[in-house]
Structure 1
Amino acid sequence: MTMLKHGISLGIERHGEGDFFVNIKAVGKLTHADYEYMVPMLESAIAGVKSPDIYAFLDVTEMDGWEARAMWDDLKLGLKHGHQFEKIAILGKTELQHWMSRMADWFTPIKVRYFRDETDALDWLKE
C-alpha cells in the first residue's frame, strides 16, 4: 500500500489582546480540503477580536504545490484576511519558493520574508 503524505498542520497562539502567532506546516500538494480544515480554525481564533495582528510562520520545505481549487482558496483567504497579517516568515528550500515569497512581498501590504533557517525566521517574526 502506498501512502501519499499531504496536508496542513496548524498551531495558533494568542498573545495579549490581539496578537496571534500562527504556525503552519504544508506537506505535499495542498487541496481544497486542506483549506476547509485550516480557514475555519483561523477564523474561529480571531473571531471577536476587533483588530487582530497575525504573525505567521509558514514551513513549506515539504510542500509540492497546490491543486487549482486550493490556489483559489489561498487567494480568497488573502483577500479576506490579508490586512490582518503583519508578517509572514516562509521557511523553504527551493529558489521557486524564494521567488514566490518575493512576489508576495512586492504585491501585498504584508511583510513577507523567505528563510532557509528556522531560527532566523522565528527571530524575524519576533522583531
Structure 2
Amino acid sequence: MEKQEIIEKKSLNLLKDIDLDTKKEIAKIGMTATMGITVATSMYMKNKFMKRLHVVAGVALVGFSYWHHTLYQPAKKKESKKALPEKISSKESETTVEENQNVAISLNSFFAEMAITGKLTHNEFKSFEEKIETLLSSYEVPSMNILIDITKLEGVEFKVLWDDILFTLKHIKEMKKVAIVGNSKAEEYSTSFANRVFPFSLEYFEEYSKAKEWLKA
C-alpha cells in the first residue's frame, strides 16, 4: 500500500514538473489515441476482450478530454457549494421514474439513477440529461449524486461518448458523487482511473444496495 502511494506521489510530482504546452500535447495525444481505440473496438463488441477495451478506452477518452479542457481554463477561486440536504421531506423524496426501451431513469433529491439494458442510445442519454437538469434546478446552489447501473450494458452508440464528455464538462462543478454498478474488472479499473482524473468522487460497486448507501452517506 505504501509502495503504491509513493508511486502515485512520484507520478503527480512528475506531472507538476512538465510545462503547460507539453501537458496540452500529452492530453491531445491521449484523446486521439483513446478515440481511435474506442472507434475501432466498437466494431467488435461481440468479442469480450474488445468490449472491455472499448469501455476502458471510453472512460480514458473522457478523462483526457476533461484534462485537456482544464489546461485551457484560467485560474479561478473555488466557489463553495451547498451539498444536498441530509434530511428531506416526504414530498421532496418522491421518485420520478421514466422507462425507455433500454434505459430506466429515476430521480429524487438524493441522487439521479440510470439503469441501462442493452445498447445505450443518444436519445436515451439525452433523456437522462434532462432529468439531471431537473434535479439541479431544485437547488439554489446545486450539487448532485449519480448512480449508473451498467450490469446489463451491451454497448453504446458512438455519439453517446461525445454526449458524455459534454455533459461531464458542463456539470463538473455540480457533481459530488458518482457510483458505477457493474460486473467486470475492466469496468472497475476504468472507474478507478476516472476517479483519479475527476474532482468529484467516483466509486465502483458490484452491489446496487452498497452503491446506494455510499451515495446517501
TM range (shorter): 0.7 to 0.9
Q: In structure 2, how many angstroms separate the alpha carbons of the residues matched to 1:35 and 1:116?
A: 22
Q: 2:175: which partner in 1?
A: 85
Amino acid at match of 1:118: Y
Structure with the larger helix share: 2
Deviation at 1:6, TM superposition (A): 5.5
Report whether the alignment pairs 1:50 with 2:126: no
Aligned to 2:105: 10
2:188 counterpart letter in structure 1: H
CA distance 1:93–1:6, shift in 2 (3 Å): farther
Q: 1 or 2 for the larger relative contact order (CA 8 Å, sep ≥6)?
A: 1
* Structure 2 alignment gaps of length 5 or more: 1-99
Q: Is the aligned partner of 1:66 residue 2:156? A: yes
2:112 is the alignment partner of 1:22? yes
* Aligned residue in 1 for 2:186: 96
Per the alignment, in what secondary structure is the counterpart of residue 173 of structure 2?
helix
Structure 2 match to 1:31:
121
Q: When you count strand as a share of all residues, which structure comes out higher?
A: 1
Residue by residue over 1:75-96, the C-alpha shift from the partner in whole angstroms, topping out at 9 and shown as x without a partner, is: 1110101221111111100111
Count of paired positions = 118
Offset, 1:30: 1.1
Distance 1:35 1:119 in 2: 23
TM-score between both structures, scaled by the size of structure 1 = 0.83
Are the aligned partners of 1:6 and 1:29 in contact in 2 as well (CA < 8 Å)? no
How many Å separate the matches in 1 of 2:180 and 2:108?
Answer: 18
CA contact (8 A) 2:114 2:128 kept: no
Matched-pair identity in %:
26
Which protein has the larger Cα radius of gyration, Structure 1 or Structure 2? 2
Q: Distance in 2 between matches of 1:30 and 1:70?
A: 8
Bigger shift: residues 5-14 or 95-104: 5-14
Q: Verify the 8 A CA contact 1:9 1:24 in the aligned structure 2.
A: yes
Structure 2 length normalisation: TM-score?
Answer: 0.50
